[in-house]
Amino acid sequence: MIDHVTENAGHLLDGLLFGLGVLAVYLGAVFTGALVRSLAGAGTKGLTFLGSYLTGWFDYVRGDERSTINVTLNAVVNGKLEFDTLVADRRITDVWPNTYRVQMIRRAARKTTLDNPVLRFPDPPRSKKPRGLSGRIRAVVHDTLTSAHVIENGREQRVRLEKENDYRAAYGPLISLVSETASNDNAIDLALGRDMDEYRFVVALTFEKLSNRRARHLRALVIWEEALRNFPEHCPQVEFPEHKTRFHTLQAIARQYRTHPERFGIVKFWRPKEMDRNGARVGVS
């Protein structure tokens, strides 16, 4: 028995060592895979952080925050320019989830000037008859992507979908933000049939070319339509000299609103009608 064990001890030891070797290789592979995945994850996070850090640094040194927008209420009260924030800074991708539309807005912001800080979108191209084989192919692809099957009068047909107006698409989310912030309660009163006064406020999307003392980013300026139509020609009193830039921006908005009101957004506010002691209505002058 002892001789048998002695003779086969080498084989048993070789088998044991082989098994340990296989186990070591397996554990090494598992560990290596986990290590590689960890390093890959860390590397991806590191690159993401580095890209975000460099973008933030670039915007910081330029005083330019291209990824945020806020909404401010503007008014000239008692000969002084006043403004306050209705909606604090938001990521523009939170306001406009469509990345393509965000890029359109950024391109329009880059084209603003000191004299015209109001965003303007390109006019829609005029439809032209396609020329050549490539033109007809593009027309077929465009018609396929911009059409859908609908049922009208019991018949199925394919119709061309109309692209949403760029100004309406840009101002719609801003109007929703302002309404959510400032007009909810009184809108409920209006729906209940209570006697209310309605006021229209103009919303203008701007990218002001400011001095190096203030950050540049998208701003949606809100101003009472009646005040905008009668906006003063000369700058009123301002709290800080750099606030004169806001006055010039409002002047540009007033000029453009007179000729192209369709390029702006309108948000409505309701306020209860005020009565004097005799029951007569007291309006806002």
Tell me the pLDDT tens digit for each residue of 168-206.
999 999 999 998 887 667 888 888 888 989 999 999 999
Confidence label for 56 from pLDDT (cuts 50, 70 and 90): low
Q: What is the mean pLDDT of residues 100-107?
A: 92
Q: 8-12, 18-22, 102-106, 215-219: which has the minimum mean pLDDT?
A: 8-12
Q: Provide the 3-class DSSP secondary structure of residue 180.
A: helix
Residue whose C-alpha is closest to residue 91's, from 119, 113, 69, 120: 69
The CA distance from 67 to 127, in Å, is 34
- Sign of the CA dihedral running 11, 16, 17, 18: positive
Answer yes or no: is pLDDT of 31 > 70: no
| Residue 156 reports pLDDT greater than 70 | yes
Which candidate, 50, 84, 88, 167, places its Cα nearest to that of 120? Answer: 167
- Give the pLDDT of residue 184: 67
Amino acid 152: pLDDT? 73
Is residue 225 over pLDDT 60?
A: yes
Q: How far apart are the first and last CA of the chain?
A: 117
What does pTM read for this prediction?
0.71
pLDDT at 190: 85
Label residue 5 by pLDDT band (50, 70, 90): very low
Listed as own residue / partner, the contacts of 162-166 with beta carbons closer than 8 Å and 24 or more positions apart are 163/124, 166/104, 166/121, 166/122
pLDDT score, position 141: 66
pLDDT class for 32, splitting at 50, 70, 90? confident
Residue 210 pLDDT exceeds 70:
no
Q: Tell me: pLDDT of 130 over 60.
A: yes
pLDDT, mean of residues 228-234: 92
Q: Which residue has the higher pLDDT, 4 or 115?
A: 115
pLDDT at 238: 87
